[in-house]
Amino acid sequence: MTHPTWTDRLARLVDTALDRSVVLGYPATGHAVRRRLPTWPADPPRNALSGKHVLVTGASSGLGIRTAVDLAMLGAHVHLVVRDPMKAAPVREQLDEVAAGRHTTWRCDLSDQASVRAFAAAYRATGLPVDGLVHNAGIMPSTRQEDAQGRELTMSVHVLGPVALTEALLPALAAARDGARVVFVTSGGMYSQALDLDDLDFHPERYRGAVAYARSKRAQVELLPILARRWGRHRISVYAAHPGWAASPGVTSSLPGFARLTAPVLRRGAAGVDTTTWLIAATPAPPSGGLWHDRSERPTSYLSRTRASDAERQELWQWVARHAGIAD
């Protein structure tokens, strides 16, 4: 058994200090410092995903574009799963430069269960496996909106749609030669919120976009243990990854004050998607069922008031399964 050296122990102390401070660990500086620590996991080789098929939702803007490009640079055939294929033209142009012939665009509206089922059926009909699935699509509306089924839109796009899509793609995920990986792109904002099982649909009179966003991301993370057990039967590993403070059109439009204040230190380029792509490509697969940031598994709560019990997670799952049309 190899014991950690004093430099490894010091590196872990630095990493933990960055994580707990938030203002040092979440900006670009956190990623830059951690990459220089001796405990930083190795980068996947350039051909790590050669011959593999990886789906990225919300791939037409923001972090989704960079995620798709970086996965393609690792050799993957990238499937762009977007609501409006016309808006995916810019990312297709970028992919043509690094992965000509290794990308496909699909239409799927995660807020519409019929669209989710139709896309999943069309993909399954190709006979291709799904080696990786990145649930990157995200929204932060300022006012309460509903999806095609009458559910609140933020929970629909961040939780109901992704879970329903994964369930519908189980045969293709199970066909992955080396086991499939599913990554929910979450947010550090979820640390401020607890589950509110009495208001999962967000009452209109109490609606605040940023709070709804953070609570939906909290729901993603709290579902991880249940999803890891459920999907693990099919050799599927599941993770949540939060990018830190990353520049994106969503941050600029939904949180303009935060974006202006943090603009000089926001993560840009590969730093914002590093952990997401690493979780898809790393060998061996990281342990399933956890929350990751900067290639390390992180606590899901720092405050006692935000911790969920197993019973609360199970109640959340029952709500999700019911509204996503899943037979529990």
With cut-offs at 50, 70 and 90, classify the pLDDT of residue 258. confident
- Taking the whole predicted model, whether its pTM rises above 0.75 is answered as yes
pLDDT at 233: 98
> Of all residues in the chain, what percent carry a pLDDT higher than 90?
88
pLDDT at 253: 66
- Asked if pLDDT for residue 283 goes beyond 90, the answer is yes
- Asked if pLDDT for residue 1 goes beyond 60, the answer is no
| pLDDT tens figures, 180-221 | 999 999 999 999 999 999 999 998 888 999 999 999 999 999
Among the listed residues 207, 213, 239, 302, the single catalytic one is 213
pLDDT at 255: 72
Amino acid at 282: A
Domains assigned to the chain: 1-40 (no CATH), 47-323 (3.40.50.720)
Q: How high does pLDDT run on average in the chain?
A: 94
Instruction: Look up 26 and say whether it is catalytic.
Output: no
- Asked if pLDDT for residue 88 goes beyond 90, the answer is yes
What distances in angstroms separate CA 292 from CA 9, 90, 195, 212, one per listed residue?
20, 29, 20, 22
With cut-offs at 50, 70 and 90, classify the pLDDT of residue 265. confident
Average pLDDT over residues 20-40: 95
pLDDT at 260: 79
Reported in sequence order, the residue ranges of 112-204 that DSSP labels E, i.e. its strands, are 132-135, 180-185
Antiparallel, parallel or unpaired: β 53-57 and 132-135 = parallel
